[in-house]
Amino acid sequence: MMLESIAKVGTQMLKKPATLEFPEQRESLADNYRGIHKLDMKTCISCAACARICPNQTIEMVDTETEHGTNKMPQINLERCLFCALCEEVCPTKCLVLTKDYSFEAYDRREYIKRPEDLR
């Protein structure tokens, strides 16, 4: 019984790892792929249309210092986001768009909350 267990452990140690390594070159993405948001703070008019239409209440309007003083800008919680692109569709100035960037790993959950300055 003991030798059988040791033999199983030995064969498992000699096998290749089951996990894949992160690819050095990324795959090409479809044209309609939706990734992390990008915000053009200069053209945002602080209308909050994106926050009102978001089905998960992912977007919150927060005070942000800009060249013209303090304005309300969208803060996005990527942890709750569905990447449905409704915010992009409803934006009158098209300042909020979804990019093809999909690498947003973090060690702390608070890093998924992206302030307007982080969305540039």
Condensed to tens digits (0 to 9), the pLDDT of residues 28-50 reads 778 888 889 999 989 999 999 99
**Residue partners of 47: CB distance under 8 A and separation at least 6:** 92
Q: Could you tell me the residue range of the domain that residue 99 belongs to? A: 30-119
The residue among 67, 62, 40 whose CA lies nearest residue 51 is: 62
Strand partners, 113: 77
Among the listed residues 32, 40, 75, the one whose alpha carbon sits nearest the alpha carbon of residue 54: 75
The verdict on residue 54 lying in a domain is: yes
- Residue 88 domain-assigned? yes
61-100 pLDDT tens trace: 999 888 878 889 999 999 999 999 999 999 999 999 999 8
Structural domain contains residue 19: no
Report yes or no on 83 lying in a domain.
yes
Which CATH number fits the domain that encloses residue 76?
A: 3.30.70.3270
